[in-house]
A = this chain, B = another copy of it.
Amino acid sequence: MNIAILGYGTVGRGVDGIVRANIPGVEVTRILELPDRLTNPRMTSNYDDIINDPSIELVVECMGGIEPAHTFIVRALNEGKHVVTSNKAVVAAHFGEFAQLSEKNDVSFLIEAAVGGGIPWIASIEKARRIDEIRSFSGIMNGTTNYIIDSMRRDDLDFDVALGRAQELGYAERDPSADIDGIDVANKTIISACVAFDVDCVHDLPVTGIRTLTKSDLDFFAARGLTIKLFGRGESKEGRYAVAVEPVAIPLDSLEASVPSNFNIVSLEGFTVGPLKFYGQGAGSLPTGNAIVQDVIDVQCGRKQRYDFSRGLEYDPALLMGDYIIRSTVVDVSTEAWAPGYWLLRNLTPPQAREMLNKVQREDASAFMVALQQKG
Question: Which residues does A use to contact B, with CB under 8 Å?
Answer: 14, 18, 22-23, 118-120, 123-124, 127, 130-132, 253-255, 257-260, 265, 270-281, 284, 286-287, 289-290, 293-294, 297
Contacts and interface: CB of A to CB of B under 8 A. Distances in A.
Given A255-B259, A280-B276, A290 B18 contact: no
Contacts of A254: 258
B272 A290 contact: yes
A178 to B, nearest CB: 23
Given A280-B274, A281-B274, A131 B294 contact: yes
Number of copies of this chain that the complex holds? 2
Contacts of A14: 272
A22 B272 CA distance: 10
Contacts of A22: 131-132, 272
Given A22-B132, A120-B124, A272 B287 contact: yes
- The list of the 8 closest CB pairs from A to B, nearest first, reads A277-B279, A272-B286, A118-B273, A276-B280, A273-B290, A274-B281, A272-B290, A258-B258
Contact of A255 (B18, B127, B255, B289): B255
26 contacts: A18-B272, A22-B132, A23-B131, A118-B273, A127-B294, A130-B294, A131-B290, A132-B290, A253-B258, A253-B260, A255-B255, A255-B258, A255-B265, A272-B289, A272-B290, A273-B280, A273-B287, A274-B280, A274-B284, A274-B286, A275-B280, A275-B281, A276-B279, A276-B280, A278-B278, A278-B279
Given A274-B287, A277-B280, 10 more contacts: A14-B272, A118-B272, A118-B274, A254-B258, A255-B259, A255-B279, A273-B281, A275-B280, A277-B277, A277-B278
Nearest to A256: B258
A375 to B, nearest CB: 14
A258 B297 CA distance: 35
Nearest to A18: B272
Contacts of A274: 118, 280-281, 284, 286-287
A95 to B, nearest CB: 24
Contacts of A123: 127
A302 B277 CA distance: 27
A270 B255 CA distance: 22
Nearest to A254: B258
Contacts of A127: 120, 123, 294
A265 B280 CA distance: 13
Nearest to A251: B258
A133 to B, nearest CB: 9
A265 to B, nearest CB: 8
A272 B287 CA distance: 6
A118 B255 CA distance: 18
